[in-house]
Amino acid sequence: MILSTETQIETIEHHFKAIMETLGLDLSDPSIATTPKRVAKMYVEELCSGLNPDNFPTPTFITEGFTPGEMIEIQNITVSSLCEHHFLPFFGTANISYIPTTKILGLSKFNRIVDYFCRRPQLQERLTKQIVETLSLLLETEDISVTIRARHLCVSLRGARDTASETITVVRRGVFEERRR
Ligand SMILES: [Zn+2]
């Protein structure tokens, strides 16, 4: 069940206020009085908007101007998401390679589809797989590879406090998988 946007914002505002008060913060301070509302709107309207299927971008296909069988690569697509274990951001880039069959997608659609799956609590491994599976269906090709390289704030701000390491996830299908063997 998906609640209405208004109900989601009101409920999160209520609970986030309780979190801040539990931490001993004084919500009568004008500087933070409206923080619960701001945080609630940020989660519902921005960081978690990809939980609502209505927000999936409308794909526009192009059926000419390319050669079927010749690889297309899109590099350095912005990845900016939220780790589902800590609700802290992870961010980096995605590279997509695919071999078109009968159609290709407009270039900005790759950014929008990546962004749609980023806007929900995620695991980098699942995010990579969701992008591959969705693009494979839309493009009607088995030959697709997605690599995501990202830094996780749950690794740098807390826990190991490692600010240099990056996580790289790769999902290869079709010829990209075969070439690796
Ligand atoms: Zn985490």
Task: Write out the two tokens for 164.
Answer: 């240099």
Q: Which amino acid is residue 53, in one-letter code? A: P
Q: How far is the CA of 90 from the centre of ligand 1 (A)?
A: 8
Please, which residues bridge with residue 29 across strands?
none
Compute the distance from residue 141 Cα to the ligand 1 centre, in Å: 32
Decide: helix, strand or coil at residue 44: helix
Helices (H), 1-67: 5-22, 35-41
- Residues tagged active-site: 83-86, 124, 152, 154
Put residue 43 in one of left, alpha, beta given phi > 0 → left and psi -120 to 50 → alpha: alpha
What are the φ and ψ backbone dihedral angles of 115, each rounded to 5 degrees? Answer: -65, -40
Q: How far is the CA of 89 from the centre of ligand 1 (A)?
A: 8
How remote is the CA of residue 179 from the centroid of ligand 1, in Å?
Answer: 32
* 104 DSSP β-pair partners: 62
According to the model, what pLDDT value does residue 107 have?
A: 85
**pLDDT per residue as tens, the chain (181 positions):** 679 999 999 999 999 999 999 999 999 999 999 999 999 999 999 999 999 999 999 999 999 999 999 999 999 999 999 999 999 999 999 999 999 999 999 889 999 999 999 999 999 999 999 999 999 999 999 999 999 999 999 999 999 999 999 999 999 999 999 876 6
Query: How many Å lie between the centroid of ligand 1 and the Cα of residue 161?
Result: 12
pLDDT score recorded for residue 178: 84
- Which residues are CB-neighbours of 42 under 8 A, at least 6 positions away? none
* Tokens of residue 51, six digits: 């939980």
Separation CA 164–CA 151 (nearest Å)? 8
Residue 129 contacts by C-beta under 8 Å, 6 or more apart in sequence? Answer: 171
What pLDDT is recorded for position 181? 61
140 CB-near residues (< 8 Å, 6+ apart): 101, 102, 103
Burial letters 68-94, b for 16+ CB under 10 A, else e: eeeebebeebebebbbeebeebbebeb
